[in-house]
A and B are shown apart, each in its own frame.
Chain A
Amino acid sequence: MIIMVLNNLKDYSLDVSKIIPIIQNNNLVLLGLSSATYAALKIPENSSTKTSASQPENVKDESTDGNTIKG
């Protein structure tokens, strides 16, 4: 594709917009996919990290809600 572009660029009469938009669109599509994939992966990762690294500031007395956990 690069060779094709370079060859076509030699012809100044060629409408460049007919070549470049194809590349830009590809880039946009690629960026869009990348962002979506990143977001899809990152959201649960962040959520998980936050949950495991923090502790609640207040805790409930488990004896007050009929909890019978042993251990």
Chain B
Amino acid sequence: MTITRWHHTSLLVFCMATMLTACGGSDPKVFNPPKPGDALIYAYPDNGLVDVPLSTHGLWVFSSPVDKQAVSRPCTGGAGEKPQGSFCVTGPDGVVDMSQHLSVINGGKTIQLDMSILKAGTRYQVWVRPSANPQAVNLSGDKPLLSFRTRQSNPIPGQAPYILAVNHDSPDAFAPDTKVKTRFPFMDFSPIRVTFSEPLDQNTMVQGQTVTLMEVDDSGNDVGEVPASMHSERHYLSLQPKQYLTPGHHYQLRLSSDIHDLDNQSLAATTLEFVPHPSHNPADSDKPYITQTLQTYPALGDPGYPRTSHLTGRPLNRFELETTALGVNMADSLPNGLKAYLGDPTVYPEATPVVAPAGQQLSLTGIDPVKLGGKVHTDLATGKITGTFIDNVTGYLTTNPFRPKGFQPDDEKAPLYVYMDFDLAMQTENPNGNATLNQNMMHVEAVGIVTIEDKKLTFEVFRTLEFDVLSGATTIGADFSLGARSDPDIPVDTVNHEAPTLTGSLPINNAEGVESNKNILLTFSEPLADVALDQFHLLDISNGGVQVPVKVRRDGTTLVVSPQQTLNSNSEYHLQIPDQLTDQHLFHPRTLAHSADDALSGGNTLVFTTADYRRTASGDMPPLVLGLYPGIGCALVDTDKTPGRAGRCAGGLSTDTLYQDFQYETSRGISIAFSQPMDTSTMRVGTITADGSACLNGAICVGHSDNGSQWQPVATSLVAANTSATLFPAPGDMPVGGGYRLVVNGDEPTFHSTAELGGLRINTTPLMSLQDPGGPNIVINFTAVAPFDTVASTIFTRPLTDTNGSGFQDDSEQERIRNSAAGAIEGVGGVITDARFADPNKNKIFLSGALPIAFLPKQPLDLGRPSLGFKQTAPNHWCGPQPDDHGNTFCIDTEGDTMIPVEANPTLVLGTSLTLQATVLGTVPLTLSTNGLLLRIRPRDDGTTYGFVVNRPGDQRPFFIVKLNAYLDAPDLQVAGGVIGHDLHSAAATAYLYGPISYHRDGRIFLSTTNLNAIVKRINVNVLSISGANAGYADLLLDVGSYNIQVVNTPSRARKIPQPLP
């Protein structure tokens, strides 16, 4: 009974509990977020981007592996058609063949496209179909995923410039009273970045005149010009207001029609209107709403460095600069902290603005030393590479653009997105390296994803940056996967550790013979602020100190000082550099410091003297075409004599080696270089005649013919410089394989020298006489070929003696031994019983030349190649194929196993006259002047002439060795009034030139060579010019080390188009 009662009691309690439990509520309604599904999560280039360099690697990143086979399958489709295929790029000509340029990386999740196959200045569409990645939920087959436009670096002929983008947005969104909305809000801190369709004539970009940022009131009346720091170069304009703009106020950027492109075509006058949004909250607060530090992470030295990029699968913050010219170079990001501010995300929920104020820096380890082809070392080093943000870095944080609006971010499948826009001045620690590398990277849009890692907001942005290196001779496309984390607690180094210094100038201090129609380049150790740039004074000291107006613009760490008029010749100028110049440091700007080892030896005045063009030793002499690419600067004959050969210069001997058919690398400009300063107003492009024989309405023209008889014009832009001009065809107008013709008129209209030099027409038949202007037209047939070089440039002999190109050393012209050949009379014979130089101190031929060269990819070291023919007599010991004219063997030593071939194109070299005194038959004195001499670098019989860059033991510098076959001509040499003839016509000589390549603080690269072999050239004289009836001779010796050629590149300011001068 007792047990029974206990049982009952327990049962009662249990039943109550059960009953009550049953009465309870159901399970909580737990929120289960929707699964995002796999997707395309990232794309670069960004949709609508208008300035994509061709060195770009396009990336399309998915959250799951793509179908590699489907993606790699070629697409089909013509122009204007929807392409068929899984992953396609289409352009104006239809589908782009990507077969050799597409790869799948990053564990199969990223499609990578090498965009070097695309054309400049062209809009493309990218199509990504569901079959590319069947798991992806956000692909559509109906329309392109995105479109972009490639960069147009060269001028476009026959087209007025126009605005492509404003702050990477449509210009229509900034038109006054527009209904078009901007993609991102224009903020009170935003710079204005205007991207044009082609490079502009920077002389027409004048702040306050042609470029005006004006505040206007509600009625549209001007309130006042807004002080702003302006950076204008190439096809970029950036204006950074010096103070935050006032939110809600109206600002107008007015661009006048006085702005021209390099073809002198006007920009349509344009007004862009900006109404900034507040970044502070409340708007009248002085304090930023959110303060952050953006720190590159992990950087060199941080644990876990380098981390793997989500986008590429390659190391993050380790940048691979790979180019055939320089091989593979690695640069590691150093820890950097950028102070940044965010707008209120609740005010800007769709695109939260971010700003990192200008004047802050990112640093990388350097390239020490720079190696050609990655193997041949140079004495060039960069030291730490630093990028200074010269305008505010603006960014916007958004949800993933490939997902529906408002889609919940997911680090793996729908990461947040960030758009970062910046203008960056690159500099290096080493002054020599800085001189060749410093440059501005303008209007960079880096797109990235934002995830949360290690409890921090982590940014990973990708962008291919195209660096100009070797003073603009070539470019490197570097993929930057930059990782950074955001943290308000990371301290920022606000100390300005070094004041700016002037590290180099061109011209150098106390230079003489400076061209009177050139810009002045001042290279500093770091970028400068927009302070005191109007305080430069250029004084014409020889003219009573008259001030010459100048414009100063910033270009990397270089200031480009542009005199607004051609300088007087033979005048001393002083450029006074203001001490108030400051660097761009955000927190503590410092003023210019002087030291004994700076470019002015501690001073603040650059002194130079312009060239004296007066001719005292001769009359007027017409200009010659020294360098022509493609082609040779003379009218040709025997053009149809031998297949595969283009002919020979008129006036030469019929036995002259014929030039090989000319080729034109489509990556290069068509260049022409003259022996004298030219009247740039005569440098005009004409239109080829139908028969292809001449140019109408211009001195130079290009044509195309399918059948070789009827010629159609190829439009080109012409960019003029003092002694040269460069032509740029329109993008895609000269496809590879096509037959083309370059014509340079000998008669009007043609190129003329400056008025100071007589305003003479060019001489197209210099072998007949150097003194006769005009002549038949230079007609060069050529074939367009795909780019094969790694570095291409026309290099000039510098310094020059014969600055006026007369073929004589005039009184004011100074001896420049580095470009001379010092002769000696080694022997005489026949009727000539004695011969010597009239003035023993004037035994030199001074040389003026322009040599189009191209560096090619590295090769295994072998100086026995036919172009040089050396023999290896011991390991790394190479000797000439035969003894020199004195019977001596000449040799060089090498180091390493690699050489860089350099293609030396045919060219003309002008030499100054020699005056000899001879004695005939022991009694008759004879004074003779060679007059101007012409040295023709001639082709080899069996192919192109190549030199080689090698290393030698114990020397960090690279050395250049080349065998130059030349013809020496003295077209105007007359002996005894023509009674006595001579054989200085197409007199063949061979020089083995050897010497170092060095890099200078003014940005120039010097190739300084001298002859290894003694050259003895017998000059025969005959009676009545009867060939073979030699009556006597004199042996002219160019002894070892007496024949020097030093060629120098023109610092192009980082491959900028040389600007036409006012």
Q: Tell me, yes or no, whether A binds B.
A: no
